[in-house]
Amino acid sequence: MAQQAFSFWRRWFGQAESEPTADVAVEADRRLWLRYPTDLEGNVQLAEKKDADKMLAQVRDLSAGGANVIVDRPVQPGHMLTLELPTHDGEVRTVLACVVRTVPQGDDAWSLGCVFSRELSDGDLQACGAEKSPADDNDKRIWVRYSCSIKASYRMYGNLTADMTSVEVLNLSATGIGLVVSTAIDAGALLTLELHDKSGHKVCAILACVVHTSRRARGEFSVGCNFIRELTEEEMQSLL
């Protein structure tokens, strides 16, 4: 399966078309980040080293936006992986993911938190056996999006001469953000974001990949983005 990579990785990984989704309300958008427990064994490989050996991975949970996998060696946050997910019908679905955290789990085991460069569909999740059960308390900060009144501005990554454009924030989680913009932005585009608290104080600057764009009733567009790293607890508290 061709993958939708971040825009500045496209020269290595190629592109795949991404169909725009219908308008997604804040409550419906929470579904995108709910983790489903799984019992899958797949393979992961460093995307920038396609000739490297594949690692066997235990996929502990899965969502439309990411996965938690256990592997036998550490992978530093920021690295891109290809993750092969087996399905009930014998197919293998491959997704491109960015490692956002690495946690040792004991002897020769590491837990990798990964964010996908495109969202998985309901069909993808069902084919991989994702069970619709609530995330535990430890995951709620990461995967649940919160309505908020923070301020944000953006520009396309790499366009250093462009001014930052202020945008409305629909919702926020530790791994992603929903924005309202005046013009459509293609899925896979990379944005430089500045996030500000309610008083306008800048909390952080972060890169984000657009994973879906949909037209709103008034003609604007809502865009859903995955951060390339998780927001820290302190950043979340400052923003919310």
Nearest Cα neighbor of 47 from 26, 71, 75 is: 75
Q: How far apart are CA 214 and CA 90, in angstroms?
A: 33
Q: How far apart are CA 42 and CA 93, in angstroms?
A: 10
The H-or-E segment that residue 227 falls in is: strand 221-227
Helix, strand, coil proportions of the chain in percent (round to 5)?
15, 40, 45
At residue 26, the 3 state secondary structure works out as helix
At residue 233, the 3 state secondary structure works out as helix
The H-or-E segment that residue 182 falls in is: none
pLDDT one digit per residue (tens) for the chain, 240 residues: 223 333 333 333 333 333 333 333 333 333 334 677 888 888 888 876 766 678 899 998 888 778 889 999 998 877 888 888 888 877 888 888 888 788 999 888 999 988 887 777 777 888 887 755 445 555 555 556 666 778 899 999 878 888 999 999 988 888 888 899 998 888 778 889 999 988 889 999 998 888 778 888 888 898 888 887 788 888 888 888
Domains of the chain as residue ranges with CATH? 35-133 (2.40.10.220), 143-239 (2.40.10.220)
Bridge partners (DSSP) listed for residue 206? 193
88 φ, ψ to 5°?
Answer: -65, -30
